[in-house]
Chains A and B, each alone.
Chain A
Amino acid sequence: MELNIIWFVLLTVLFGGYVVLDGFDLGVGMIHLGLKSDLERRTSLNAIGPVWDANEVWLITAGGALFAAFPDVYATVFSGFYTAFMLFLLVIIGRAISIEFRGKVESDKWKKTWDFIFCLSSYLIVLLLGVSLGNIITGIPIYQDKEYAGTFFTLLNPYAVMTGITAVLLIRMHGKIFLAVKTEGEIQQRVAKGINSSLILFVIAYIFHGAWTIILYPGVIKNFVAFPVWFILPAFIILSIIVIPGFINSQLYFRAFVASCTIIAFCIAIAAIDIYPNLVISNPNPENSLTIFNASSSQKTLMTMLIIACIGLPLMFIYKIFVYRIFRGKVKLDNMSY
């Protein structure tokens, strides 16, 4: 049974890693239309250029791990949220293609079209993921046979939409901070100036969302009350929020970025603790919930997968850090750039 818990943790790490990493790619996409010159837009694209694809792979890995470890959850969620997932696929294709195709033709109209698609798809990706997360936290109708019992519009309930909006605001700030780290001169100044206001917008949404969660769905704090050590997570989030303006004003952008990563990672962790040991809460009929115990693969598969992860993940970290280190520092455009 410990394997089921380990895989719950690993999935949280994979999904959380995705949001932190691809989060800055998506955040950069969100502010893309706010950059006005071709040079600035190329700069921001090349800031994420060498790493965005590998960052997206974290989502693929999380999906693959979900399929392997909790196939009932993969099946229920992916088929139940069918239309939402198809829209998600549409925009994730759009984001990838816009990055790759944008610089290939020397035409204003061509570039502006892809700039728009890049920006819009970035927003929609985060919105859809946030809406999904909101539904996971509060629960969705599930039949006795584990299948989804709602419709597409069930997913667009106000709480889920609010979760989506909060996510968008957080990721937007995250992208701005990343860009402040990677750029210099005028573009850095302009991006950095907007960070504190983005932070305030996020904090307002976050407080509102948090209050809404606890008031309407008080069950989410039961794991925190049972194990108060987990209160360290929201404590660190508050701490990270507090230090960001100071770092920004002192131009310590990398430290602000670390704080932003912490906020995102710990938000995902809190969501995981909110729902544990469920993966898909059934609301109504909580007895139909899919848990890490009733929706998992066999122990043999969980063990085999753990071994695979123990080999693959450390390897991945090694070469990922190797590549990130090569691309550290400010973006410099050359003949191999987008």
Chain B
Amino acid sequence: MLDAVLLSRIQFGITAGFHFLYPPMSIGLGLLLVFMEYRYLKTKDKIYEQITKFFIKVFALIFGVGVATGVVMEFEFGTNWATYSRYVGDIFGSPLAAEALFAFFLESTFLGLLIFGWNKVSPKVHFFSTIMVALGATMSAFWIIAANSWMNTPAGYKLVTNVVNGVQVERAVITDFWAMVFNPSTIERFGHVISASWLTGAFLVLSISAYWLRKKIDVEHAKATMKMALILALFASLTQLFTGHHSGVGVYKRQPAKLAAYEGHFKTAPGNLYTFGWVDEKNQKVTGVNLPGFLSFMIYFDTKKPLIGLNDVPPVERPGKPPVKENPPVQLVFQTYHLMVTLGLIMIGLSLIGLLYLFLGKLFKTKWLLALFVPAFILPHIANMSGWIATEVARQPWAVQDILLTREAVSKVVTANQVWFSLIMFTVIYLILGTLFVYLMIKKIKQGPASVA
């Protein structure tokens, strides 16, 4: 039924998903920009100067769309999820405000220098501003991930009931700021999102470099950027495996229903690790290729140890409210989770092969490998989207795990018709925006870095 709750969820998914195409590119490309400019400062090589200036322009385009789509997110907690905002505002508002006060101001102020200041300040001052922009983008990720992590593993809070005009109103209030910010899943999720961002930036530059090499555009520049992109790609994809594993273990400890949904694990038993499969939700079976007992192994180093099945996760009791025992949609979560993992492994493979060929001196002449790299920028994006869908849908029916249900969190005064209006508006705008962005990026890439004076 397309009511205000479902429509608001769809809208949040679309707006957050579209927005999240851009910050990872900003964070990853930001890091690479620091390397590029550092090499320019050290070598005074014109090639590195041109590479840096070129990717600053690319960065500006990405950052601009990131900002435009990001404002929507801050507003959307209030517009569509007002009850959520009232309920957890005492807690959730602080990291958002911190994000603006620390990270947004830092990155946007120095962005002016980054883009416009090349001819106005010394190379060292400009390099400093590049570092500040990259730092600001990374810090911004920290605060929003801390807030989102709190929704998954709440800590540092207590529930209080006040009487407002004769009505009992419950809300969560903070008891410990640092326990809230560094709640049990913040660090591992932040690490996972940051390495995902580095991976996204690395593959973006990798794809662009491969394109230049294949079309023989600015070949010397392309070789330099491909090298640094490959190194970051391998480092980030391995880090991603590590942080992903760590997150998975953490998820089993604190959100067992989520991990059970990820792997279609309905009954309590030793857990199987699926490479791919199909979930029959009605009969609670998964058909697919799996490594028996390996899920248990990854969590307990013991293939025989049983893991809690989705059916056996106890109902959640909340004082004064009926117990909640609802499963998230298992098929969607299973597929997106496995897609993410598969892509992650593919990206490790691609990075390894690329570096191997680079080491053997054959990379720039191997046409089939370059051809593979050109569209590869899309892999991290698909992985990012899949991962987010998996983790946030698997959290359902909870907005805040075990505390507030999603259907309780929606704005009381907003009608389904109003959300239809905004949902259609965002879909249309973002389709146009996305198309224009791709058009402008391709146009810029085709010009090549030597085109920058």
**B is a partner of A:** yes
Q: What is the bound-complex CA distance between A99 and B111, given in angstroms?
A: 15
In the complex, residue of chain A having the shortest beta-carbon distance to the beta carbon of B72: A89
B173 partner, pick from A53, A76, A300, A335, beta carbons under 8 A: A300
Known: A92-B71, A298-B173, A336-B53. A86 touches B164 (CB 8 A): no
Residues of chain B contacted by A75 (CB below 8 angstroms): 78, 82-83, 85-86, 89, 411
In the complex, residue of chain B having the shortest beta-carbon distance to the beta carbon of A63: B74
Residues of chain B contacted by A57 (CB below 8 angstroms): 100, 104-105, 108
Q: Are A61 and B167 in contact, CB atoms less than 8 angstroms apart?
A: no
What is the CB-to-nearest-CB distance from B91 to chain A, in angstroms, rounded to a whole number? Answer: 7
Interface residues of B in 79-96 (CB under 8 A from A): 79-80, 82-83, 85-86, 89-94, 96
| In the complex, B364 has a CB within 8 A of chain A | no
What is the CB-to-nearest-CB distance from B167 to chain A, in angstroms, rounded to a whole number? Answer: 6
Interface residues of B in 396-418 (CB under 8 A from A): 411-414, 418
Interface string of A45-56 (1 = CB under 8 A from B): 010011101101
Q: Are B97 and A308 in contact, CB atoms less than 8 angstroms apart?
A: yes
Q: Are A50 and B174 in contact, CB atoms less than 8 angstroms apart?
A: no
Known: A53-B108, A301-B90, A323-B109. A68 touches B96 (CB 8 A): yes
Q: What is the bound-complex CA distance between A90 and B421, given in angstroms?
A: 12
A64 partner, pick from B86, B97, B412, beta carbons under 8 A: B97
Q: Are A74 and B93 in contact, CB atoms less than 8 angstroms apart?
A: yes
Known: A50-B115, A105-B443, A300-B174. A72 touches B97 (CB 8 A): no
What is the CB-to-nearest-CB distance from B184 to chain A, in angstroms, rounded to a whole number? Answer: 20
Residues of chain B contacted by A336 (CB below 8 angstroms): 53, 56, 115-119
Q: Are A93 and B97 in contact, CB atoms less than 8 angstroms apart?
A: no
Known: A97-B433, A308-B94. A327 touches B120 (CB 8 A): yes
| In the complex, A304 has a CB within 8 A of chain B | yes
Q: Are A64 and B99 in contact, CB atoms less than 8 angstroms apart?
A: yes
**Chain B, interface residues (CB within 8 Å), range:** 35 or more
Q: Are B79 and A85 in contact, CB atoms less than 8 angstroms apart?
A: yes
Q: Are B96 and A64 in contact, CB atoms less than 8 angstroms apart?
A: yes
In the complex, residue of chain B having the shortest beta-carbon distance to the beta carbon of A52: B112
Q: Are A97 and B68 in contact, CB atoms less than 8 angstroms apart?
A: yes
Which of A50, A89, A92 has the largest number of chain B CB atoms within 10 A? A89
Residues of chain A contacted by B83 (CB below 8 angstroms): 75
Interface residues of A in 23-66 (CB under 8 A from B): 46, 49-51, 53-54, 56-57, 59-61, 63-65
In the complex, residue of chain A having the shortest beta-carbon distance to the beta carbon of B93: A68
Q: Are B67 and A56 in contact, CB atoms less than 8 angstroms apart?
A: yes
Comparing A140-148, A219-227, A253-261, the segment that makes contact with chain B is: A140-148
Residues of chain A contacted by B411 (CB below 8 angstroms): 75, 79, 82
**What 8 A-B pairs come out closest when comparing CB atoms?**
A71-B89, A78-B78, A68-B93, A50-B112, A312-B101, A79-B82, A100-B64, A79-B411
Known: A89-B72, A93-B71. A327 touches B116 (CB 8 A): yes
Beyond the given pairs A71-B86, A105-B443, 15 more chain A to chain B contacts, judged by CB atoms under 8 angstroms and listed by A's residue number, are A50-B116, A60-B74, A67-B89, A67-B92, A74-B93, A75-B89, A82-B422, A93-B72, A146-B164, A297-B173, A319-B109, A326-B113, A335-B452, A336-B115, A336-B117
B111 partner, pick from A53, A72, A76, beta carbons under 8 A: A53
Q: Are A68 and B418 in contact, CB atoms less than 8 angstroms apart?
A: no
| In the complex, A337 has a CB within 8 A of chain B | yes
Q: What is the bound-complex CA distance between A326 and B116, given in angstroms?
A: 10
Residues of chain A contacted by B101 (CB below 8 angstroms): 61, 64, 308-309, 312-313, 316
| In the complex, A305 has a CB within 8 A of chain B | yes
Interface residues of B in 423-453 (CB under 8 A from A): 425, 429, 433, 436, 440, 443-444, 452-453
Q: What is the bound-complex CA distance between A96 and B66, given in angstroms?
A: 10
A327 partner, pick from B56, B112, B413, B443, beta carbons under 8 A: B112
What is the CB-to-nearest-CB distance from A239 to chain B, in angstroms, rounded to a whole number? Answer: 32
Interface string of B59-70 (1 = CB under 8 A from A): 011001101110
State the interface size on chain A (CB cutoff 8 A).
69
What is the CB-to-nearest-CB distance from A81 to chain B, in angstroms, rounded to a whole number? Answer: 8
Q: What is the bound-complex CA distance between A75 and B86, given in angstroms?
A: 6
Interface residues of A in 317-338 (CB under 8 A from B): 319-320, 323, 326-327, 334-337
Residues of chain B contacted by A231 (CB below 8 angstroms): none
In the complex, residue of chain B having the shortest beta-carbon distance to the beta carbon of A80: B413
Interface string of B342-386 (1 = CB under 8 A from A): 000000000000000000000000000000000000000000000
| In the complex, A109 has a CB within 8 A of chain B | no
In the complex, residue of chain B having the shortest beta-carbon distance to the beta carbon of A53: B108
Q: What is the bound-complex CA distance between A67 and B366, given in angstroms?
A: 54
Known: A96-B67, A148-B413, A334-B119. A312 touches B109 (CB 8 A): no
Interface residues of A in 238-296 (CB under 8 A from B): 288, 294
A67 partner, pick from B67, B97, B108, B116, beta carbons under 8 A: B97
| In the complex, B35 has a CB within 8 A of chain A | no
| In the complex, B300 has a CB within 8 A of chain A | no
Q: What is the bound-complex CA distance between A320 and B105, given in angstroms?
A: 8
Residues of chain B contacted by A197 (CB below 8 angstroms): none
Q: Are B418 and A83 in contact, CB atoms less than 8 angstroms apart?
A: yes
| In the complex, B55 has a CB within 8 A of chain A | no
